[in-house]
Amino acid sequence: MTKVPELFGSKVFNDRVMRERLPGTTYKALKKTIENGEPLDISVANVVANAMKDWAVEQGCTHFTHWFQPMTGVTAEKHDSFIQPNGDGVIMEFSGKELIKGEPDASSFPSGSIRATYEARGYTTWDPTSPAFVRDGSLYIPTAFCSYTGEVLDKKTPLLRSMERLSTEAVKILHLLGKTDVKRVATTVGPEQEYFLIDKELYDQRVDLKLTGRTLFGAKAPKGQELEDHYFGAIKARVAAYMKELDEELWKLGVLAKTKHNEVAPSQHELAPIFSTSNIATDHNELTMEIMQKVAERHNLVCLLHEKPFKGVNGSGKHNNWSISTNTGENLLSPGKHPESNVQFLLFLAAVVKAVDEYQDLLRITVASAGNDHRLGANEAPPAIISMYLGDDLDALVHSIIDGNSYESHGREKMQTGVEVLADFMKDNSDRNRTSPFAFTGNKFEFRALGSSLNIACPNYMLNTMVADELSQFYDELKDAENVQEAAKEVIRKTFTAHQRIIFNGDNYSDEWVAEAEKRGLLNLKSLPEALAHFLDKKNVDLFVKHNICSEDELRARYEIDLEAYSKQLNIEALTMLDMAKKDILPAVTAYIREQVDAALAKKALSSSISAAVEEKLAEKLSEKQLRFVELTEELAQVTAEAAKVDEPLEQAFAYRNNVFAKMEELRSVGDSIEEDMSGEYWPYPSYTELLFGV
């Protein structure tokens, strides 16, 4: 059996492999590019490409691919072989030019009208900060993606730009505070990933799961999650085998998979990695989702990453644990033992507080999707109102700064277990608030509103850019100060005072908070169309243009792409629902009603004294529901056709949300009620009991 240290990273062209295979001068030049952003010379790229090819061929590879993240929400890849003609045969070659640049067809990827269909050329370009890896006989090279005319068409490029901007502004602040040894600052992320596992044979019988990722019909099972017995419960043997193979496959690819456990809902589970830089964490999370689904197939399972595959039980999120660290190893969001005197920490905390308050709409926008609209605001996820949780100790410190009072941190207290054989231990300074969308958890912020299928590049490039902007403003205020420490304290006090409305340590699920948030002027954007309506607000466009993250045209393209994806998703769901209703459910109901009628007639034919009341009542009850089901099916078809004709993207998204989705909910309610009254033998799909408890 291969030991984990030997297994880990064995499929990655990582730093250890580069040191072994690259000449010293080439290795140093490449490291300068990776760590300092210095330009990469083509001669260096040629040497790296050859070494990368030799290593990949030894790993059994015959092809390479530029692996990128277009605006589709999934990754993309085009595979080319290493073979080159050589007389009557071939040789295996790979040049620096091929490493640096690829040319996929850009016309068929979402571009938000930036590119016409006939304008097909696009470019992928190597991202040396994210290591290449081998998988399924190909060398995978992480890349960025742009159009022929230079417009950004992917999710990675804005993230890389935002990381550079935050680093630049953070380093300037740290130099003012005397930390002149800091040369670079990076944001780090640890994305927790929730998912469902169901039996593949049952999945194959559900057209809604196959086409939309969620069940469009399905009555609640007699047992759900109400006993809270699945959360952190014993892992079933079949699931444990899946998790074991998943860990091994991820470790081979250098993914720091650390934690695995059962989640709240039946058949729901979670995987969490150790922190990586935002760029690598994004690549690893995309890779994780792909590997999760491929490994599931080998176990005759299906991994569902939709945010709400089953109504009535918890959906799946992806908690984005975000922090900021220096190249010298210091976490800038670590309060230390005495946060009240830690000006550096308080200044960076103030920047985050100000950013979240001023750009709460952007944070909501970045987690908006058709799937996530089902989760936000329910008891499994934070509400659509963006707020921050700081914990009791830190919250008290912030208010003491606002009020001008002295404050001394309580420090960490010892937890007395009261049992001699159990060791006492130090408890944390604050509890966790599981209802907060953006919670401080010791030395990082946990952005809990992300949906399970989301590419984490989007929330992280927005977070990075917002905070970079606030740090830039702080620098302008502090750069000419005679006493930087005292000036910084005043900036901290003013910032906390002006933006304290965004801080809330209570129950985010309560009706009282909704009313209080409205008084504070916080936004409550309950759906994607409501959120996206703010995307192109002047302050948001100015933010991204100012920091060269995206142009105004690129932002408008993303706005249109997100709206179009939302409308298309709901259109697919509505058409699938209509297909299920007409082709499967209505015939099944008709057959079952006929059986009840036939049974009633048979009883009467036997004897006038035998009652057929039960069959007659059931047939009558189902006939009434069937009639309503037919009416709602026709109404859904009509509103779906009407929504498809709306031209303006935002208006169309609202039409799908307010008309189509609302009618789908009505139709589902009647359909689920019919399922509850019918024999399982007649119902055309596996039930929730089978789906949720079948593994």
3-state secondary structure of 81: strand
Between CA 687 and CA 680 the distance in angstroms is: 8
pLDDT value, residue 598: 87
649-671 in b/e form (b: 16+ CB < 10 A) is bbebbbbbbebbbebbeebbebb
3-state secondary structure of 185: strand
Between CA 555 and CA 119 the distance in angstroms is: 20
Question: Average pLDDT of the chain?
Answer: 92
pLDDT digits 0-9 by tens, 139-182: 999 999 988 888 898 999 999 999 999 999 999 999 999 999 99
Q: In sequence order, what are the residues at sequence separation of 6 or more whose Cβ sits closer than 8 angstroms to the Cβ of residue 474?
A: 173, 347, 350, 351, 488, 491
The CA–CA distances, whole Å, from 363 to 107, 306, 450 equal 29, 20, 10
Identify any residues that bridge with 64 across adjacent strands, giving them in sequence order: 80, 139
Contact 273, 258 (CB under 8 A): yes
Record the tokens describing residue 479, joined without a space. Answer: 């750069």
In this model, does residue 236 exceed pLDDT 90? yes
What percent of the chain shows pLDDT beyond 70? 95
Lowest mean pLDDT among 101-110, 217-226, 522-531: 101-110
pLDDT digits 0-9 by tens, 470-515: 999 999 999 999 999 999 999 999 999 999 999 999 989 888 999 9
pLDDT value, residue 477: 97
3-state secondary structure of 469: helix
- 10 Å Cβ neighbour count for 429? 17
Between CA 21 and CA 48 the distance in angstroms is: 9
In this model, does residue 611 exceed pLDDT 90? no
Contact 647, 192 (CB under 8 A): no
pLDDT digits 0-9 by tens, 196-234: 999 999 999 999 999 999 999 999 999 988 888 888 899
Q: In sequence order, what are the residues at sequence separation of 6 or more whose Cβ sits closer than 8 angstroms to the Cβ of residue 213?
A: 304, 305, 306, 309, 371, 453
Q: ∠ at Cα 194 (192, 200), nearest 5°? A: 145
Contact 344, 492 (CB under 8 A): no
In this model, does residue 90 exceed pLDDT 80? no
Q: Write out the DSSP string of 214-240.
A: S-SS-PPPS--STT--STT-PPPHHHH
Between CA 268 and CA 252 the distance in angstroms is: 25
In the 8-state DSSP scheme, what is residue 213?
S
- Count Cβ atoms within 10 A of the Cβ of residue 61 and give its class: 0-12 exposed, 13-18 middle, 19 or more buried: buried
Q: Which candidate, 266, 135, 257, 243, places its Cα nearest to that of 191? A: 257
Question: How much is the average pLDDT of 369-394?
Answer: 85
Lowest mean pLDDT among 210-214, 331-335, 374-378: 374-378
Element (H, E) at 669: helix 662-677
Residue that is written with structure tokens 């470790």 in the block? 251
Between CA 308 and CA 197 the distance in angstroms is: 13
Strands (E), 107-192: 122-126, 133-135, 138-147, 185-191
Contact 224, 265 (CB under 8 A): yes
pLDDT value, residue 603: 86
pLDDT value, residue 422: 65
Residue of higher predicted confidence among 604 and 343: 343
pLDDT digits 0-9 by tens, 654-672: 999 999 999 999 999 999 9
Element (H, E) at 414: strand 414-415
Q: For the chain, what's the residue count?
A: 695
3-state secondary structure of 51: helix
pTM attached to this predicted model: 0.94
Record the tokens describing residue 186, joined without a space. Answer: 């990076």
In this model, does residue 539 exceed pLDDT 80? yes
Identify any residues that bridge with 67 across adjacent strands, giving them in sequence order: 142
